[in-house]
Chains A and B, each alone.
Chain A
Amino acid sequence: MKKSYQSLEVNSINNMKQVIHRKLGFNILHFCLIFLLAFSTSLSAQNGDAVAGKALFNANCASCHKLNKKMTGPALANVETRLAEDEGLDREWLYTWIKNSAGMVKSGDAYAVKIFEEYNGTAMTAFPQLTNVEIDNILAYTAAAPPAPPAPTPGEGGTANPQNDTNSNGLILGALALLFAILAGALFLVNRTLRNFAEAKGIEVPAKEKSKPLWKAFVDNQFLVLVTAILFLLASGYFVYGYFMQVGVNQGYEPVQEIHYSHRIHAGDNGIDCKYCHSSARVSKTSGIPSLNVCMNCHKSIYEVAPETQSEGMAEYGVDYNAEIKKLYKAVGWDDAEQKYTGETSPVKWTRIHNLPDFAYFNHSQHVSVAGVACQTCHGPVEEMEVMYQYAPLTMGWCINCHRETNVNVKDNNYYTKIHEELSKKYGVEKLTAAQMGGLECGKCHY
């Protein structure tokens, strides 16, 4: 009994010792592994981490390089094997080049000079902060199988599904129509059979008595005719007035533009500020249709939309966004393959939507910069519009209504403090509206 207890104790001590040993062994193994890994990456360097490389590539290289497409710099897919096979350059060359390309060009390295000249003397930014391991990771990413070009199957699937939906809808509707037709036919047949029976049995179906027709009764009642006539005249007057009042009002006008431009994607999904493109709204009378170089600020890099955006466009709006980007390239004269301007441009014929009559003056900067009115106040939820349309009626009544209701921000406007105080006293109000500051005077907009 005692002995066994002792042995247990001994055992447990032994066990403890064993545990300590195991841990030590594990640590040594761990250390060896780290050492091995570090050794292997720094020397043979064949197996960088492609996942880490992707993040590094996107953060450092992607502004000028794409994997499969020439951009500011050359395409980088399999750059290492390409250099090794075509130029006989090893990874050491790449390390030096990435960390200090300008220095290499200066020192007259043959291939460095060649590539520098091929890209019109655009110097590659130096990346001294990248370690060799990080560069290995990036190279592993460029050597990894390039992401398969957007497979046509999901796109087709995306478009096929709604088609199936509409097909099935049509099928259901057709079946319903057929059902109703059969029902009507059946009723007609039943009716005829019943009549046949009645005839066969010699029962006479009571014929309808000829009563005075309704219209004759109506004409005979002169009071009713008079009331109806007055009602009819009033109703037609109402509609005629309504029709004449909407002449010249283009609310809801939604022309088809030469290049399909989706405000929903640009201003909504991507959250680009209105004034990014319509920059002259800040400083001038017109809000400005952006010149195409503004489009090219982003579309130099974005040469096609994301596959899901493309399939969404095809399915929901019937628009091929990539083809629209090609139209932009054609108009601005951008050769996407060579990444340079050809100089052959053609103006895009945008159709103007918001158009005030010539006798009314309107100034964008006055409203946007001075008053700080949000664009959406007059233009509506543009960030949700796939096709731009006129949201507001742009009639005089509409302008005046807003001038009556909108308070003017007079804070920190020291130059006019005195006049603002006088006006406040005159109207007995705390906050002045645009109308009280003269926003209803005819000559403000008509002269």
Chain B
Amino acid sequence: MKSIFNITLLALILISTVACKKDSRPNYEYMPNMYESVPYDTYQESDAFANGVEAQLPPEGTISRGYTPFDIENSTEGYEEAKGNFKSILDSTQVDHARGKVLYDIYCGICHGTKGDGQGNLVKREKILGIPSYDDAGRAITEGSVYHTIYYGKNAMGSYANQLNNEERWQVVSYVMKLKSDLEK
């Protein structure tokens, strides 16, 4: 009888030690004040701002370093204006299709397809439908219209302004125009 009691006790102790290890909470640290940074970490909660987070939008009216303003507004008229007049800032020596392709494949190819024919993986799997091909006659995209669409988004497509910087956007635009001319061949 006594031995049974002892065995249960041992089992209970073992179970409780094993149960203490839980993957849903972080491990102990030796000296937390050396592990945790004094300034705010990226995305940390913070009561310094009204909405309680460290990540803030730039104050209105400020321009961050390396920012290039884009004056054409987000509207149908703006789109038409960009389509007609807006030209790439890259000259022929700065266009790097290899880089453009890398960026295009990450951000655009998933829907528009690596060839620009509107047959990306999400379209093939019927998750998102109706992605037009770049050589679509009704749309007749130009450099300016592609840039406007990347910057503001269009219809179901969202803006990619925060994922690509100005120069990268133009690299993607020139790669899109290359895909378009390849498709039209």
Contacts and interface: CB of A to CB of B under 8 A. Distances in A.
Interface string A53-65: 0000111111111
A275 interface: yes
Contact of B138 (A63, A127, A349, A352): A127
A347 B163 contact: no
Given A248-B29, A293-B162, A125 B156 contact: no
A302 B28 contact: no
Nearest to A356: B35
B138 A126 contact: yes
Nearest to B164: A279
A43 interface: no
Nearest to A99: B138
Which 3 residue pairs are nearest across A and B when measured between Cβ atoms?
A63-B130, A62-B130, A62-B129
A358 B34 contact: yes
22 contacts: A63-B132, A122-B76, A129-B136, A129-B138, A247-B29, A247-B30, A250-B26, A252-B23, A253-B23, A253-B27, A254-B24, A255-B24, A270-B127, A286-B42, A291-B162, A294-B158, A294-B162, A297-B153, A297-B160, A352-B41, A357-B34, A358-B35
B139 interface: yes
Interface string B130-172: 1110001111000000000000010111111011110000000
B118 A59 contact: yes
Given A72-B156, A297-B158, A298-B122, A247 B28 contact: yes
Contacts of B165: 283
Given A293-B162, A389-B23, A272 B110 contact: yes
Q: Is the interface of B mostly helix, strand, loop or mixed?
A: loop
A250 B27 CA distance: 6
Given A252-B23, A253-B25, A255-B26, 17 more contacts: A63-B132, A64-B130, A123-B76, A248-B35, A254-B24, A270-B125, A271-B110, A276-B106, A276-B163, A283-B165, A289-B43, A293-B162, A294-B158, A355-B26, A357-B29, A358-B38, A359-B35
B128 A302 contact: yes
Contact of B131 (A63, A122, A271): A63
Interface stretch (B5-13, B45-53, B88-96): B45-53
Contacts of A72: 155-156
B110 A273 contact: yes
A340 B26 CA distance: 39
Interface residues of B, number: 52
B159 A293 contact: yes
Nearest to A346: B51
Interface of A: 57-65, 71-72, 121-123, 125-129, 246-250, 252-256, 269-273, 275-276, 279, 283, 286, 289, 291, 293-294, 296-298, 300-302, 306, 347, 349-350, 352, 355, 357-359, 389
Interface string B17-41: 0000001111111100011111001
B57 to A, nearest CB: 10
Residue among B24, B75, B162, B163 with the most chain A CB within 10 A?
B163
A129 B127 CA distance: 25
B130 A358 contact: no
Contacts of A306: 127
A64 B156 contact: yes
Interface in B86-136: 105-107, 110, 118, 121-122, 125-132, 136
Contacts of A350: 43
Interface of B: 23-30, 34-38, 41-43, 45, 51-53, 75-76, 105-107, 110, 118, 121-122, 125-132, 136-139, 153, 155-160, 162-165
B156 A300 contact: yes
A253 B139 contact: no
B142 to A, nearest CB: 15
Contacts of A283: 165
B130 A248 contact: no
A171 B48 CA distance: 58
B98 to A, nearest CB: 11
A414 B122 CA distance: 39
B127 A359 contact: no
A291 B37 CA distance: 23
A256 B30 CA distance: 24
A213 to B, nearest CB: 13
Residue among B29, B107, B127, B156 with the most chain A CB within 10 A?
B156
Nearest to B75: A121
A273 B110 CA distance: 8
Contact of A297 (B25, B130, B157): B157
A286 B35 CA distance: 17
Given A63-B129, A248-B35, A256-B24, A276 B110 contact: yes
Contacts of B158: 293-294, 296-297, 300
Nearest to B123: A58
B76 A59 contact: no
B138 A276 contact: no
